[in-house]
Structure 1
Amino acid sequence: MSVRAVRTVERRHRTTNCEAGTAQALPPPPPPATPPTTPAGFDSFTVAAIRRKVHSKFAAKEVMTIASLTEALMIDGIIPMATSDTSVWRLLHDMGFRYRTSKRTMYVRKETLDVVCRRINALRALKQHRERGMQVVYLDETWFTTRMHHSMKWVDTTQPATSTTYSRHVPPGEGDRFEVVAAGIADGFVEDSFLCYHTKTTSGDYHGEVNGELFLRWLTSQLLPSLAEPSVLTEESRCPTTATRKADFITWLEKHRLPFPPHATRPELLLICKRNRPQPQYIVDNTIRMWGHEVVRLPPAHPELNAIEQVWGHMKRHVRSSLQHFTRADLQARLEEAKMGVTAEVWAGAVRRSQGYEEEYWATDNIHHSIDPVIINLDSDDEEDLFLESDVE
């Protein structure tokens, strides 16, 4: 019975006795309720020892999981050796600890026709190259910082948030940033392709650090020589832009032997150049092809198709879980451990999952084998969008 029910019964009994004019003894009060016990039957001394153990992990800046905490408590003799992880999890909740995550805003971007066509062309190209017996080399770049940590962590809600015993303390700010560029196949990282260096950027976009010159130097000095094919560097074709002078329009048209009216105006010459503009050529793509390889450009916002993205995730989980001093030396040591932890099995699983996504796209996009690649030229009514400024010769 609840306290309210007992009081109601007592009040009714007293009222009835008063009306009857008799004095009757009240029934004895119910015995006090037995205080609830913890799920695993731990006493208060054990609970206090567990709290001190958790706080010591916070102070040491260790990443705490239920499994690691249970193991540490058993090693220290705080809990019996047969205690399960579930019992420790329930006890932590009764003690006021919670596993929380930071709020994150998710954005959903609708696919355009151009992105869909790029995906179809990339999937067809990958399939054709595999049928020819060529291995797929997954290439990408990523970043690591000295302040990396998991978004979710255990906190002691009985302590103020400003207390050192509230949770594991991570220094504020982004810390020092390290860029990593690498390539890999189903057996592991390509030999000598792993490049890691410290950057001085203060922006959140790490792509600005790996510029074209650095990437090309890494490509020709580390990656391509490891793929055992000769190389020759080619030039990049360019086309006039809206900033080009009329005389330069005429020179470009004559050089490419394209007819034009003798008294054509500058807008007319620009339109002729636009209609005869060659497909863009990339120095990186031409360099790779001259070494005897092919290039497949994956569509934007499709990290699931690039197996190395899953490898980055595997490495970042290790770094987030092992950083304790949050210094450059600490990060470099953890990076080396993470790299050594990416075994052939990890790479094989990442490649297998990426190919699984490819098969799903083949089915959902209704892709067929015998169709030539689709090239879409998106014309703009705005004259300023006809050519890129980077195409000026």
Structure 2
Amino acid sequence: MERGDIAIARYTFLELAKEIENWDNVVFIDETWLNANHTVTKMWTDRWEGKGERLIICHAGNSKGFIPNCLLALKSKKTNEYHEEMNSEKFEGWFMTLIENLKEPSIIIMDNAKYHSRQVNKPPTSQDNKATIVEWLNNNNVPADMTMLKEKLLILLREHKPPTPTYYLDEMAKAHGHRVLRLPPYHCQYNAIKLIWAQVKGFAAKNNTSPPLTANKMLTLLQTACHHVTGENWAKVVEKTKNTIVEDWERYVRIDRWKNQLIINVGESDTASDSDSDFSDSELKKILFKFCFILPNNHCVKHTFNKMHL
């Protein structure tokens, strides 16, 4: 079953995304890879497999197309997961290039990869030594010194650390009139560029038909592939992504309305008509099952389960 923190992150994202008025100014960013051996006979996976050179790619786009001058392609030096070769310094440098090429105030949608998430004034943890905790407390105007027990320092830390992290990229965007909206974990369906990557990789594979199968050749194919992605292609995937986000938010609204009806109707006659329900039996079964998992002591939900023989 889904973790509670992921469910909360999704709700938070959808609540903010539903307020977006102009989706033409929503920018989607992401990183991926392109294997030099990538052809139509190769199977695509989320991880690079096999031998040979590859490119690590980063780009951004909106409903009008790719953002100009923002294609980043690095030749990989390792043969393991590409996220290990990107770091905050590289990504933040590229992010500034993106900001410089945005002509309108924009909402930038991206995930929470480690190199996207360097924190401003990051508080220490219980694993840090006393000196580190004392330094952070003093820097944040909290009196503390090395004579204090670590338990006391941790209490002060919990009392004074910010409730949510502040990220360098978010602050960088804000300083230039933009806003970052972070995706919930494992929700790539809310990032339109994922669909564009499929088009780019398909073009590269289709045209990577003869030796040499090198990173330099693949870079040329990549640049050509990006050029072949039109504003119309982008507009379609942005619209599809927007619709997915709106539909998922509306599902929250329907569930909330149903929960309210359930609470109001507890104890009423079992013969009451259900003709006004917004849900089919199969939808209701799934919703109730989730509620029983999340709220194991919710007896009114379990009673409804029993009534429906689910």
Inter-partner Cα distance in structure 2 for 1:211 and 1:261: 34
User: Which region of structure 1 is more displaced relative to structure 2, 114-123 or 258-267?
Assistant: 258-267
Residue 359 of structure 1, CA deviation:
1.8
Residue 240 of structure 1, CA deviation:
3.0
**1:1-393 correspondence to structure 2 within 5 Å:** 110-128=1-19, 130-131=20-21, 135-150=25-40, 173-203=50-80, 205-220=81-96, 222-228=97-103, 236-246=120-130, 249-250=133-134, 252-258=136-142, 265-278=149-162, 279-325=164-210, 326-366=213-253
Change (3 A) 1:367 1:355: farther
Inter-partner Cα distance in structure 2 for 1:238 and 1:152: 43
Change (3 A) 1:208 1:226: same
Contact 1:324 1:330 in 2 (8 A): no
Q: Deviations over 1:91-111 (max 9, x none)?
A: xxxxxxxxxxxxxxxxxxx42
Q: Secondary structure of the residue that 2:250 maps to in structure 1?
A: helix
Equivalent position amino acid for 2:57 in 1: V
Larger Rg: 1
Equivalent position amino acid for 1:285 in 2: D
Change (3 A) 1:201 1:131: same
Residue 256 of structure 1, CA deviation:
3.4
Q: Deviations over 1:145-167 (max 9, x none)?
A: 111134689xxxxxxxxxxxxxx
Query: Structure 1 or 2: larger helix share?
Result: 2
Change (3 A) 1:181 1:246: closer
Q: Alignment length, in residue pairs?
A: 236
User: Which region of structure 1 is more displaced relative to structure 2, 276-285 or 235-244?
Assistant: 235-244
Inter-partner Cα distance in structure 2 for 1:329 and 1:270: 52
Unmatched runs of 5 consecutive residues or more in structure 2? 44-48, 106-117, 257-310
- Ranked by relative contact order (alpha carbons within 8 Å, sequence separation 6 or more), the top structure is 2
Q: Which residue does 2:277 correspond to in 1?
A: none
User: Which region of structure 1 is more displaced relative to structure 2, 348-357 or 142-151?
Assistant: 142-151
Unmatched runs of 5 consecutive residues or more in structure 1? 1-109, 154-171, 370-393
Normalization by structure 1: what TM-score? 0.54
Inter-partner Cα distance in structure 1 for 2:144 and 2:33: 51
Q: Which residue does 1:70 correspond to in 2?
A: none
Inter-partner Cα distance in structure 1 for 2:137 and 2:219: 54
Q: Secondary structure of the residue that 1:193 maps to in structure 2?
A: coil
